[in-house]
Amino acid sequence: MNLHLVDIALILSYFLAVLFLGVYNNRTSSASEYMLMGRKLTLPAFVMTLVSTWYGGILGVSEYSTSYGISNWVVFGLPYYVFGIAFALFVAKKARALKVNSLPEILVSDYGKNAGRLASVWVLLLANPAPYILTLGLILNYFLGINLIIAIILGALFSLIYILNGGFSSVIKTDKLQFILMFVGFLLILVFLSGSYMTPWELWSSMPDSHTSITGGQSFAYIIVWFFIGSWTMVDPGFHQRVYATTTQGVAKRGILWAVLFWFIFDMMTTLTGLYAFSYLPPDTIPSQAFLVLGHAILPIGLQGLFYIGIMATVMSTLDSNTLVSGITLGKDILFTMPALKRYSTRFLIKASMIFVITVGIFMAIWIPSVIDLWYTFGTICIPALLIPTLFSIFRKPLPRRAVLLNLTIPPLVSFLWFLFGKIDEWSYFWGLEPFYPGLFCSLLILILFRSTHKEASQ
């Protein structure tokens, strides 16, 4: 795609601004400041970083909203509001009161180091930056016309540069800018489409049933499993990191509720953009590129650059956050617990781990070139392992240690094997069940068995 020099200049200015904010005056004096900014995260900054880091797979949203219409909101919006509100009302204050630095620390305190290390493996997968490395690579590939693999590597390395120095402080400073840009970008294209093409009401009247149905033509079982994947919110390591970093418990609770409101607004904007893309663009348009193609087709010089900056801001805010969380998980929660590595500082191990995680993420982005498949795979396998043990610990009702170790081992293995055999059999899962369900069922079964055994032993 050939961009005008004005649009190229705007995009370059954005990259320079992010680099400046991420690097300038962001030195930290301790590992705690590097990971959580000294727990000084205020309400506005908390809301802005929570919102901006929740939408990294914007091309996945482009793919789904263009292909399935308002089902995009049902799959990628509604479940997260439900679990986000539940987290705010019932979990946020309790989680903030724990005074931990990462999600695996919660399990270490109740169930020991082995449980913490197992949990760290699943947290690493949940926080894996691969989907966002892929998304940024696809965008750069589209803009610059360079080889996709080279684009993936360049995008990943740029994001790594500015967070290595300042850690969480760098992430927060850049997230504030990216929060503004992502809303401005989509507002611009919607205003322009409403004025030059058709109003949202006219657009809705022109849509086929496939794009106005809440299922979008997908099976109900498939939609429901995405709803349960929304419970990702409860164990999302980036979500927890921001809660732990807030100044008070009240900020954590109020901030999440404000974030849900902004999630809703942005979901409406992206879903509506997907409907416009379906209506305006040729049928042979690649759905994952629909937002990019639409911006080029409809927007004038200058506004194109601003819209593309909004898309990139959406991706990069999540990419740098997940890279840092993964580095903390591997460096602090796994490597630093090994006696042979105790001579290294926590911060050194986190930085080394971020480099390793980015490298692995690059390979995964090349190996599984679909954002939605990456989301689905990670969520299906990891959530059944982490959900129940984490919530029971947060509510100070720890389970028997053996039950937790089994929960961190068997349910994810069952989900993975279910997923693997379904893939071998051309996505035909046993009994038509999505892999998430047998994993969650095993987790609940372990809970029931050990709770009933504990009651019998106490009588």
Q: Of residues 226 and 72, which shows the higher confidence score? A: 72
Q: State how far the alpha carbon of 16 is from the alpha carbons of 22, 159, 329, 332, 354, in Å.
A: 10, 12, 29, 31, 22
Percent above pLDDT 70 for the chain: 93
List of E strands, 121-196: none
- pLDDT for residue 459: 46
Q: Of residues 377 and 339, which shows the higher confidence score? A: 339
pTM here?
A: 0.89
Residue with tokens 């795979």: 377
> Tens digits of per-residue pLDDT, 179-212?
999 999 999 999 999 999 999 999 999 999 889 9
Mean residue pLDDT of the chain comes to 88
> Tens digits of per-residue pLDDT, 20-39?
998 876 666 688 889 999 89
Residue with tokens 């921001």: 242
Q: State how far the alpha carbon of 403 is from the alpha carbons of 17, 203, 219, in Å.
A: 49, 53, 34
Q: Kindly list the structural domains of the chain, giving each domain's residue range(s) and its CATH number in brackets, ordered by start.
A: 5-388 (1.20.1730.10)
Per-residue exposure over 396-416, b if at least 16 CB sit within 10 Å of its own CB, e if not? eebbeeebbbbbbebbbebbb
Q: CA 67 to CA 61: how far, in whole Å? A: 10
> Tens digits of per-residue pLDDT, 381-437?
888 899 989 999 998 888 888 899 999 999 999 988 888 877 666 556 776 677 888
- pLDDT for residue 81: 94
- pLDDT for residue 210: 87
- pLDDT for residue 199: 94
Average pLDDT value for residue range 432-443: 84
> Tens digits of per-residue pLDDT, 130-180?
888 888 888 888 887 788 889 999 989 998 888 888 899 999 999 999 999
End-to-end CA distance of the chain: 72
Q: CA 354 to CA 335: how far, in whole Å? A: 12
